[in-house]
């Protein structure tokens, strides 16, 4: 028999399959979980505490997928596979993904540290093979920030950034830079424009505007 906490987590996860977290009311959660309103506060403190717990459940699924990625003799190729599986998870779970990687308020999900740890393990393999230009920590931060940024742009602007070609171009540019495996690619001009847009958006220094979107659209057409 499931507990009230488990039913609330499951109900919230189900509702996140339909809409973003801000659109989900505690009343809808309680109705689906078949619990009274005060139960959320007894179990999680408040709605933000509940959302952080749901994000951690999402990370458990995300990390389980990561661990299923096969390891090959080519650690750089494995990095690309990990990037692609990250993107696939985001596209399959858009609302949950936003909750996981764009948390508001406190507490924030802590499992992102484990995701970074798995990436560091992969990068250490690259280092042991003599295929890493940066310190593993900096390389990991760069790759994860770019990967998350691409996913958020794909979810927010699918008509411009929804193509997997763009994800793959940014993937190859970033991973190539940190490992020394740069390759010439006709998609690189679009990837460069997108990378600059992502950097500005993630740091808050230059949010994506209509001019940036037009630049990326022109790059995609070339």
Q: What would the pLDDT profile of 69-99 be if each residue is shown by its tens digit?
A: 989 999 999 999 999 999 999 999 999 999 9
pLDDT at 103: 82
Q: What percent of the chain has pLDDT over 90?
A: 69
Residue identified by tokens 């994506």 is: 208
Q: 15-26, pLDDT tens digit by residue? A: 999 999 999 999
Question: What is the pTM (predicted TM-score) of this model?
Answer: 0.79
> Which pLDDT belongs to residue 144?
95
Query: What whole-number distance in Å separates Cα of residue 188 and Cα of residue 119?
Result: 24
User: Phi-psi bin for 31: left (phi > 0), alpha (psi -120 to 50), beta?
Assistant: alpha
Q: What is the pLDDT of residue 107?
A: 74
| 21 secondary structure, DSSP code | G
- Assess whether the previous peptide bond of 107 is cis (omega < 30° from 0): yes
pLDDT at res. 218: 60
Q: What is the mean pLDDT of the segment spanning 56-67?
A: 93
């Amino acid at each position: 028999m499931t507990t009230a906490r488990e039913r609330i987590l499951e109900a919230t996860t189900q509702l996140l399959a339909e809409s973003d977290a801000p659109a989900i009311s505690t009343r809808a959660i309680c109705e689906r979980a078949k619990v009274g309103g005060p139960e959320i506060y007894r179990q999680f403190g408040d709605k933000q505490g509940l959302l952080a717990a749901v994000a951690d459940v999402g990370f458990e699924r995300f990390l389980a997928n990561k661990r299923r990625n096969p390891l090959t003799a080519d650690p750089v190729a494995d990095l690309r596979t990990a990037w692609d599986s990250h993107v696939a998870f985001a596209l399959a779970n858009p609302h949950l993904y936003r909750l996981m990687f764009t948390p508001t308020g406190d507490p924030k999900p802590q499992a992102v540290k484990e995701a970074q740890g798995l990436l560091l393990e992969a990068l250490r393999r690259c280092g042991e093979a003599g295929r890493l230009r940066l310190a593993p920590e900096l390389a990991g931060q760069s790759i994860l920030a770019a990967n998350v940024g691409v996913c958020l742009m794909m979810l927010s602007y699918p008509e411009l950034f929804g193509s997997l070609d763009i994800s793959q171009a940014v993937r190859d540019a970033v991973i190539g830079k940190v490992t020394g495996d740069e390759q010439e690619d006709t998609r690189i001009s679009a990837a460069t424009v997108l990378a600059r847009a992502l950097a500005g958006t993630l740091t808050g220094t230059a949010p994506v505007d209509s001019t940036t979107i037009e630049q990326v659209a022109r790059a995609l057409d070339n």
